[in-house]
Amino acid sequence: MLPDELVSETRGFESKLSDSSPLKDNTPILQKLKILGKGDTISWLPTSRLEGGADYRGDDTVLGF
């Protein structure tokens, strides 16, 4: 199932990726925003290892753990 609408960041995708997307002909792109949001994540992998990441546009820092 494809989304009804697509919103992306201005520099969110390389043009070759968006040009080859199955969404390009079927889904209206409402707007291109400079930044959708700043995100951080911690993933707990099946191996019990933790991985983290911080959005470089924010004021965050990721340290090893």
pLDDT of residue 46: 93
Residues 29 and 44 in one domain: no
Same domain, 10 and 30: yes
In this predicted structure, what is the pLDDT of residue 56?
74
Give yes or no: residues 28 and 1 share one domain.
Answer: yes
- 45/64 same-domain check: yes
Ramachandran angles phi, psi of 22, nearest 5°: -70, -10
42 and 30 within one domain:
no
- Looking at residue 3, its pLDDT comes to 62
Are 43 and 58 a contacting pair, CB within 8 Å?
Answer: no
Q: Which domain holds residue 54?
A: 38-65
Question: Contact at 8 Å (CB) between 41 and 55?
Answer: no
Q: Are residues 7 and 23 in the same domain?
A: yes
Q: What is the pLDDT along the chain (65 residues), one digit of tens a residue?
A: 556 666 666 666 666 666 666 666 655 555 566 666 667 777 888 998 888 887 777 776 766 65
Torsion of CA 5, 7, 13, 15, to 10 degrees: 60
Residue 45's pLDDT is 87
